[in-house]
Amino acid sequence: MENLRDKVQVTQTFMPPKAEYDAQLERIWESKWLTNRGVLTKELELKLKNYLNVHDILIMNNGTIPLQIALKLVGGEGEIITTPFSYVATTAAIIWENCTPVFVDIDPDYLTIDESQIEASITEKTTAILATHVFGNPCNIEVIDKIAKKHNLKVIYDAAHCFGVTYNEESIFKSGDISTCSFHATKLFHTGEGGAIFCEDKELMHKISYSHNFGHNGPIDFHGLGINAKISELQSAMGLSVLPYMDKIILERKKVVNYYLKNLSFETLKTIKIRKNVTWNYSYFPIIFKNEETLFKVQKALNDENVFPRRYFYPSLNTISYTNKSNMPVSESIAKRILCLPLFVGMSTSLLQRICDQINKNLV
């Protein structure tokens, strides 16, 4: 049972039994191999391939560098059509790799990029589309794929929230030319800090592989330019310890989401609409208020109860200082009105009731 004085954050990292992590660490101590694609890293990749049912995966030291590598290889320092409704890493990676973000507004229900507006934003400088599957909810991948093929563009999906998500009974990581995922401590599956990249094209995956390891081709030769994106054995040990609990983690989070859906007052609230034929992973639970004033009122009431939801995603990325400040009315409006509620394994019914009660009685 939670102590009412305990601070309840929007998420809580799932910690596997310490003895199981210690057993993985013992393997590292025996091998004295801490990084450079050791035994644990390769084992984790194989187990993730089987769990996710994907052909290729390369795990890395965080969730942002896969985006940077993808953009370095296919972005060509051109214009990248992207969403303003994502974590800042999506836009930052584009600019960091000397590309130019071109924002397209979002669908007000699914919260993903509005595919009907993409084609109007394509120019002769456009090289790729970088779209985010928001809160584990897939973009309209069929339409985006058709647009990309028509205009000879590459598609990168920021699938940071999508561990375990399937669409039409296939892993969402199989969509696009490249998909990326985050294994940050706040995510469903985590390695403390980490991430992964997925690519079905063997030639492109080969470039990705050497690019994440300084460009190495053996100890003294090089395929080409690269960076250090390697994950450590310590991180992989955490992943191997967490992975056996994924079914439990998703089931427990589903129970929390179902409680919110049953007990919150949706006469004035909205939440995300999940696309058809999706097996969702319950990665986040956002609520969208009718105005920002109500959000502030509810947020204060929850904070007074030592409960701290997150304004996620906020602000709309087209408004931050290093972008072109284009007008994205839907994204800007939703960013001001959205709040992600606490969602993690081990939340008690009493805590969930407290949260719902404070929200419902402060709706105006």
Question: What CATH number has the domain bearing residue 287?
Answer: 3.90.1150.10
Check whether residue 126 and residue 158 sit in a common domain: yes
Q: Residues 222, 271: one domain?
A: no
The pLDDT, as a whole number, for residue 173 is 98
Domain end point (choices 225, 243, 261)? 243
* Residue 70 is assigned to a structural domain of this protein: yes
- Domain's final residue, options 226, 243, 260: 243
**What's the pLDDT at 6?**
85
- Dist. CA 134–CA 317, nearest whole Å: 14
Is residue 2 a part of any domain in this protein? no
Please tell me whether residues 259 and 221 are part of one structural domain: no
Q: Answer yes or no: is 1 within a domain.
A: no
As a whole number of angstroms, the distance between CA 342 and CA 350 comes to: 13
Domain that holds residue 303: 8-12+244-361
Last residue of a domain, one of 209, 243, 277: 243
CATH number at residue 152: 3.40.640.10
pLDDT at 188: 96
Give the pair of three-digit tokens for residue 26: 């013992």
- 3 inside domain: no
Residue at 143 is within a domain: yes
Number of domains present in the structure of the chain: 2
Q: Are residues 119 and 260 in the same domain?
A: no
Q: How far apart are CA 156 and CA 139, in angstroms?
A: 12
pLDDT at 118: 98
Same domain, 257 and 221: no
Do 303 and 258 lie in one domain? The reply is yes
Whether residues 237 and 123 share a domain: the answer is yes
Whether residue 312 lies inside any domain: the answer is yes
Residues 83, 331: Cα–Cα separation, whole Å: 9
Question: Is residue 188 included in any domain, yes or no?
Answer: yes
- Indicate whether 33 and 92 sit together in one domain: yes
Can you list the residues of the chain whose pLDDT is less than 50? 1
Same domain, 287 and 339: yes
Question: What tens digit of pLDDT does each residue of 234-289 get?
Answer: 999 999 999 999 999 999 999 999 999 999 999 999 999 999 999 999 999 999 99
Let me know if residue 129 belongs to a domain: yes
147 and 292, same domain (yes or no): no
Q: Are residues 65 and 152 in the same domain?
A: yes
The whole-angstrom separation of Cα 84 and Cα 111 is 10
Whether 108 and 252 map to the same domain: the answer is no
* Residue-wise pLDDT tens digits, 73-123: 999 999 999 999 999 999 999 999 999 999 999 999 999 999 999 999 999
Give every CB contact of residue 119 below 8 A, 6+ residues apart in sequence. Answer: 147, 151
